[in-house]
Amino acid sequence: MTPEEETEYRRRQKSRNWVIAGALLFFVVLFYAITIARIGGAS
Amino acid sequence: MTIASPQTRQPDSAAPAAMLPTEWRDFFTLTKPRVMTLVIFTAICGVLAAPGHIHPVLGFTAILAISMGAGGSAALNHWWEADLDAGMKRTMNRPLPGGRMRREDARDFGIFLAAVSVGLMGLAIGWLAAGLLLGAIIYYAVIYTMWLKPRTPQNIVIGGGAGAFPPLIGWVAVTGDITAMPLLLFAIIFFWTPPHFWALALFVQSDYAKVGIPMLPVVAGEKVTRHQIMIYTLLLAPIAIAPWVIGGTGWIYGSVAVVLSALFVLLALPVGARMKADGDKMLPEKRLFKYSIVYLFVLFAALVADRVAAYQGWLA
């Protein structure tokens, strides 16, 4: 792998990691909100 | 003429091995974001028009699950049709034929999205809506994409069924049961799809014939396609008005549906009656195609306006 390819490899890996982290965070918040909504609806 | 059957398709391992990790944008492309706008819009309309109350967070979750299910189906469609896409100008730069992604990654991404969408719908909303979502995914990815699309010129009619699920699922997410109204919303999109797509197919040259997909204008000819446009438009009009006739909506939706459907028939008549001439600019077909898009959006917007007005007591 050339240095340019290595740089591109790291860039793509990093951007994917950020997207996955964002998606995970989003689902953590969403499941918390769903739980609150369902508990509220049940009471 | 060859079609993508399991016997002729390249095995997954034969896909070009991407040396670099796939860009996240290419995964996003697999979900067909442009098609998703119609899915999201009709799902929102289904949720808003349904009688009863749903917590905004749960309503959002239902729409998200429907969108993820549609995205997963689309990714599976990309995976299965990669060979066909490589042979068509419109699709040859998609992530798989473009060599930017391994084939099995698209398959796994599709299965993952589909599974998460059904699980999310089941846990947050209910298992009837989740079952319908699973049915919609199987209908599009397996029955339509893998089985019937390469085998019948009525593939557009069958594909329309997949696009018709979102308002039905959205409605069921709120009410928890299937009644005549959500089934009518399903039927409206089902019967709207053929005239919408075939009007486009009459004036846009596609490469489908080259890759062996039996599209109606190619297999049965222009005349039959025009007749089919007329038939489905004439079936669509009473179905679009039916929610008002059965008392499921009020006068707002009823009057909009009557006017819009009458105009749809008026625009479809010249398309059904004429034939293409030399140097034809295909203006009636282009007009019908553009109008069909406006028709669906305004009809569903009118449904939501009608129902919201009724639930708020503004029509009393």
The pLDDT tens digits of the residues spanning A1-43 come to: 889 889 999 999 999 999 999 999 999 999 999 999 999 866 5
The verdict on a CB contact (< 8 Å) between B23 and A36 is: no
A28 contacts on B by Cβ (under 8 Å): none
Alpha-carbon span B272 to B229, nearest angstrom: 7
Within 8 A by CB and 6+ apart from B231, the residues are none
Answer yes or no: are the C-beta atoms of B109 and B75 closer than 8 Å. Answer: yes
CB B100 within 8 A of CB B135: no
Q: Which residues of B touch A30 (CB under 8 A)?
A: 57, 61, 64
| pLDDT one-digit tens code per residue, B52-79 | 999 999 999 999 999 999 999 999 999 9
Average pLDDT (B169-194) is 97
Going by pLDDT thresholds of 50, 70 and 90, the confidence category of residue B130 is: very high
Could you tell me the pLDDT band of residue B316, with boundaries at 50, 70 and 90? low
* Mean pLDDT (chain B, rounded): 91
pLDDT of res. B14: 46
| pLDDT higher than threshold 70 for residue B182 | yes
Give the pLDDT score at B158: 92
Closest CA to B72 of B116, B126, B25: B116
Contacts of B24 in chain A (CB under 8 A): 15-16, 19
The answer, for A4 touching chain B at a CB cutoff of 8 Å, is no
Which residue in A16, A34, A36 is closest to B61 by CB distance? A34
> How far is the C-alpha of B267 from the C-alpha of B44, rounded, in Å?
28
Please tell me whether residue B91 adopts helix, strand or coil conformation: coil
Q: What is the pLDDT of residue B15?
A: 47
- Report residue B142: phi and psi, to 5°: -105, -60
Q: How far, in Å, are B40, B65, B107 from residue B27 at the CA level? A: 19, 17, 11
How far off is chain B from A25, nearest CA to CA, in Å?
A: 15
Could you give the CA distance from residue B302 to residue A40 in angstroms, rounded to a whole number? 32
Tell me the pLDDT band of B16, cut-offs 50, 70 and 90.
very low
